[in-house]
């Protein structure tokens, strides 16, 4: 959720564009400068978590002077076509954080950035930036925001289980931050934290693909398998794998996964050689797995194997104490990203945010704050910066509360959620892909909700 | 006569040394677009459907890029070796 800012300094246009796209897709905020002096000027006015310096011609003296000036502000990762040992050693001596020689795989760049972000200098810089942006910033442990009792419990569990090998099962609605918590757990693990964190959404891939994605395949295993390919389990060896939407995993693959959980071994599709891996498995779902077991959609033995440590991530409406710190956190991020100075939000806007039911949870809150920061014209976020749905949603909840005071909180909140989904579907012409994007949930979640609320073709026509 | 022949040979060495240097420079400059194209292919693979036919084209392009990169690396090692050898032999 938190966006680290990266500056791409120097380099040719093609290289800058490819790096920009790749880093954006990986969740970083990225700026580009065309030359080294421009990069220095930019670093003097804006703080960056890391700088990628793309050097396409060797000019040792001037370049190393630049490294020396810049590296005290942000860690520098040098990306160059010139694999010259002397140059590499000099760069590191002058304060560069890392030295990568082209052609370089994306994961190497990401891994270098992630290492740079965890250096004490960057953490100190981050604290300073956030202190400037929001003075009353809430405590941010394990990279997670919020100090409600629910979040405190999560911090405590992460602290206790981080260095164990235990499999973790995370349950919670879409948008509650399961992925972020899984990543925090991975980072908190001293041994695995420096290795890969691989995630796969079991709900987003068809049956034929998911097996080869998870376990890999050999050349010729099926039509289109033109090469040997490592699966996600192999890629995550030594690190952590997050199996998102585990309830969507087909039954036959559940058996294969059970074997990985029990013996840490498997075979690639089309191969009979057994591969052993050391991977911590984190599974997450937004469904009731016990119900899925009762409906024979999920294996009971797999459930017990996965459920060694169980974490329930409460929806945002059940931890409204966190809304304040989350709002501040997102304002700080998006104000910085959009070069705006926003000091606060008005009291009535805050009241609206607290009263809203947040069907899309933290992800929806983040989107709404990002929108508000972009639209805001003064230094305070007002009602005019929020979308109408926030006010309608609140009204809907209030109306429900008045109508049926004997209902449980869950029941009361279902109606506005249904209404909102219908409204968004109407707005996008019942294009479910677009609706899912607009709602800030993934498509599997939307389909589950459509099933849950019985929103079918007949309702669509109505 | 002998002295002039030796000088000619040394000049040849010098020329070969420069050619090695130029080759290294060209190879290094070629790494940059190869790196970018590879990254764009990865991005395209990330966004394209799993069953799309274009996926295969992209995977084959990726393989081609990898092959070109390997060839350049070999050439790089050879050119650097050549440059060093002829530099040592050429007149100061």
pLDDT digits (tens, 9 = 90+) for A34-56: 777 777 777 777 778 888 888 76
Question: Which residue from B31, B42, B76 is facing A106, i.e. has the nearest CB?
Answer: B42
In order of A56, A232, A303, A391, the CA distances from A235 in angstroms are 31, 5, 24, 45
Smallest CA–CA distance, residue A289 to chain B, in Å, is 28
**pLDDT grade for A73, boundaries at 50, 70 and 90:** low
pLDDT in tens, A5-32: 888 887 788 888 899 888 888 888 888 8
Tokens 């969507």 locate to: A248
- pLDDT average, residue stretch A319-343: 83
Among the listed residues A282, A284, A69, the one whose alpha carbon sits nearest the alpha carbon of residue A188 = A282
pLDDT at A281 over 90: yes
What ipTM does this complex have? 0.81
Smallest CA–CA distance, residue A219 to chain B, in Å, is 13
Count of CB pairs separated by less than 8 Å, A with B: 63
pLDDT exceeding 70 applies to what percent of chain A? 83
- Residue A459: the pLDDT is 43
pLDDT at A122 over 50: no
Q: In what order do the strands lie in the sheet containing A98-101?
A: A29-33, A5-9, A50-55, A76-80, A98-101
- Residue A458: the pLDDT is 45
Element (H, E) at A31: strand A29-33
pLDDT in tens, A178-217: 988 998 889 888 888 888 888 888 877 787 788 888 898 8
- Residue B41: the pLDDT is 93
- Helix A388-403 crosses helix A347-355 at what angle (to 10 degrees)? 60
A window 9-38, beta carbon within 8 A of B: 11-12, 14-15, 17-19, 21-22, 25
Among the listed residues A446, A460, A355, A347, the one whose alpha carbon sits nearest the alpha carbon of residue A399 = A355
Smallest CA–CA distance, residue B25 to chain A, in Å, is 9
pLDDT at A140 over 60: no
- Residue A285: the pLDDT is 92
pLDDT at A263 over 60: yes
Cα separation of B90 and B56, whole Å?
50
**pLDDT grade for A345, boundaries at 50, 70 and 90:** confident
- pLDDT average, residue stretch A400-417: 59
- Residue A58: the pLDDT is 55
Cα separation of A78 and A9, whole Å?
10
Cα separation of A383 and A376, whole Å?
10
**pLDDT grade for A414, boundaries at 50, 70 and 90:** confident
Task: Give A339: exposed, middle or buried? Use CB within 10 Å, 0-12, 13-18, 19+.
Answer: exposed
Question: pTM for this structure?
Answer: 0.50
- Helix A409-427 crosses helix A388-403 at what angle (to 10 degrees)? 140
**pLDDT greater at residue A54 or residue A126:** A54
**pLDDT grade for A63, boundaries at 50, 70 and 90:** low
Collect all residues of chain B within an 8 Å Cβ-Cβ radius of residue A15: 32-33, 35-36
- Residue B90: the pLDDT is 59
Cα separation of A260 and A376, whole Å?
51
Cα separation of A148 and A177, whole Å?
15
Cα separation of A359 and A356, whole Å?
9
- Residue A243: the pLDDT is 92
Cα separation of A357 and A363, whole Å?
13
Instruction: Decide if A175 contacts A317 (C-beta within 8 A).
Output: no
**pLDDT grade for A445, boundaries at 50, 70 and 90:** confident
- Residue A392: the pLDDT is 67
Decide if A19 and B39 are in contact by the 8 Å CB cutoff.
yes
Question: Which residue from B32, B38, B59 is facing A81, i.e. has the nearest CB?
Answer: B32
């Amino acid at each position: 959720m938190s966006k680290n800012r990266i500056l791409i300094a120097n380099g040719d246009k093609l290289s800058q564009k490819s790096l920009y796209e790749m880093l954006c897709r990986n969740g970083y905020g990225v700026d580009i400068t065309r030359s080294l002096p421009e990069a220095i000027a930019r670093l003097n006015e804006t703080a960056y978590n890391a700088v990628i310096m793309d050097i396409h011609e060797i000019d040792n003296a001037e370049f190393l002077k630049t490294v020396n000036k810049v590296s005290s502000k942000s860690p520098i990762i040098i990306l160059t076509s010139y694999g010259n040992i002397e140059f590499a050693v000099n760069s590191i001596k002058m304060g560069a954080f890392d030295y990568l020689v082209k052609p370089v795989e994306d994961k190497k760049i990401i891994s270098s950035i992630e290492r740079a972000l965890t250096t004490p200098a960057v953490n100190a810089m981050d604290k300073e930036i956030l202190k400037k942006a929001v003075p009353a910033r809430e405590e941010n442990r394990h990279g997670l925001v919020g100090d409600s009792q629910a979040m405190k419990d999560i911090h405590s569990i992460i602290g206790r289980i981080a260095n164990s090998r235990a499999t973790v099962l995370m349950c919670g609605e879409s948008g509650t931050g399961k992925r972020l918590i899984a990543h925090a757990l991975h980072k908190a693990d001293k041994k695995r934290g420096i290795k890969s964190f691989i995630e796969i959404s079991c709900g987003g891939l068809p049956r034929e693909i998911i097996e080869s994605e998870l376990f890999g395949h050999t050349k010729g295993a099926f039509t289109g398998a033109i090469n040997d390919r490592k699966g996600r389990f192999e890629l995550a060896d030594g690190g952590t794998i997050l199996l998102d939407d585990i309830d969507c995993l087909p039954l036959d693959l559940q058996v294969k996964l059970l074997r990985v959980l029990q013996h840490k071994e498997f075979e690639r599709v089309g191969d009979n050689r057994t591969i052993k891996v050391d991977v911590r498995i984190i599974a997450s779902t937004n469904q009731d797995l016990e119900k899925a077991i009762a409906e024979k959609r999920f294996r009971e033995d797999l459930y017990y194997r996965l459920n060694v440590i169980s974490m329930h991530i409460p929806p945002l409406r059940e931890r409204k104490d966190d809304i304040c710190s989350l709002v501040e956190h997102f304002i700080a991020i998006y104000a910085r990203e959009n070069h705006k100075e926003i000091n606060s939000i008005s009291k009535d806007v805050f009241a609206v945010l607290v009263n809203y039911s947040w069907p899309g949870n933290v992800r929806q809150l983040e989107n709404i704050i990002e929108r508000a920061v972009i639209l805001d014209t003064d230094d305070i976020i007002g009602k005019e910066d929020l979308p109408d749905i926030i006010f309608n949603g609140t009204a809907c909840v209030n109306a429900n509360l008045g109508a049926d005071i004997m209902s449980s909180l869950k029941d009361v909140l279902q109606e506005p959620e249904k209404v909102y989904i219908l409204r968004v579907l109407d707005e996008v012409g019942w294009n479910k892909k677009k609706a899912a994007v607009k709602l800030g949930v993934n498509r599997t979640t939307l389909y589950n909700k459509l099933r849950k609320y019985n929103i079918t073709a007949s309702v669509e026509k109505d | 006569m002998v002295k002039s022949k030796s000088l000619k040979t040394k000049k040849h060495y010098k020329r070969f040394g420069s050619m090695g240097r130029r080759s290294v420079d060209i190879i290094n400059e070629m790494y940059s677009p190869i790196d970018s194209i590879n990254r764009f292919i990865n991005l395209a693979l990330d966004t394209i459907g799993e069953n799309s036919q274009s996926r295969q084209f992209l995977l084959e392009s990726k393989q081609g890029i990898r092959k070109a990169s390997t060839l350049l690396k070999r050439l790089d090692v050879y050119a650097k070796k050549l440059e060093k050898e002829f530099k040592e032999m050429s007149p100061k």
